């Protein structure tokens, strides 16, 4: 088992397309990950 399979939570800041997010969710199903946080964009405040 690698580190990705041991993750409890995944924060995804680089998926831009719905299909990419679906693929990520499917890839995480057999792991022990309990939370997947998808953020489509982040803008720093000044």
Do 17 and 42 meet the contact criterion of CB atoms below 8 Å apart?
no
Q: How far apart are CA 21 and CA 27, in angstroms?
A: 10
Q: How far apart are CA 24 and CA 21, in angstroms?
A: 5
pTM greater than 0.75 (yes/no): no
Q: Looking at residue 17, what is its pLDDT?
A: 86
Q: How far apart are CA 45 and CA 31, in angstroms?
A: 35
pLDDT, one tens digit per residue, over 1-46 is 566 678 899 998 888 888 988 999 999 999 889 999 988 776 777 7
């Amino acid at each position: 088992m690698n580190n990705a399979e041991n993750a409890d939570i995944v924060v995804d800041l680089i998926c831009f397309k719905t299909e990419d997010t679906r693929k990520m969710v499917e890839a995480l199903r057999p792991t022990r990950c309990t939370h997947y946080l998808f953020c489509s964009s982040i803008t720093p405040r000044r």
